[in-house]
Amino acid sequence: MTDSFFAKFTPKEIAKISAAGTRLRLPAGWSPIWEDTPADKAYIILDGTVSVRQHGEEIAQLGSGDIVGEAAIMNRSLRTASIVALTPLELIHLSSEAMQRLATEMPSFGAALEQVAEARFGASS
């Protein structure tokens, strides 16, 4: 299993990333991201588990410390998958603007986003 997205950063950087977003909770069963919709936000999972689904079929599960929704923002494309909460979730909501600002102010954030997206798309082929 790979390290979480947050494992790539120092505590100070994690605080900056957290401050750039809004904390929220979602109940099990909710879908904060839908396939084939515009990319306007991403989420960092603080607690809980999500199912990543393409065409209704689960392709992965992600949990605490993982980021979801980043690839479509980076690629300026429609969503390639839906995210469904398997458990109650605690998340950090990041707007696309906040993500772009963080990537500019913290090159390590932009590099980490690229690394995650590359690993996911490489694994899905």
Cα separation, 112 vs 6, in Å, equals 9
The predicted-structure confidence for 47-81, as pLDDT tens digits, reads as follows: 999 999 999 999 999 999 999 998 888 888 899 99
Question: Between 70 and 119, whose confidence is greater?
Answer: 70
Tell me the H-state helices in the chain. 11-20, 70-75, 96-105, 107-123
Which CATH number does the domain housing residue 95 bear?
A: 2.60.120.10
In order of 1, 29, 48, 114, the CA distances from 117 in angstroms are 16, 25, 21, 5
With beta carbons less than 8 A apart as the criterion, state whether 59 and 80 touch.
no
For residue 20, the enclosing domain spans: 5-123
Please tell me the total count of domains within the chain: 1
Global model pTM greater than 0.85:
yes
Cα separation, 107 vs 85, in Å, equals 30
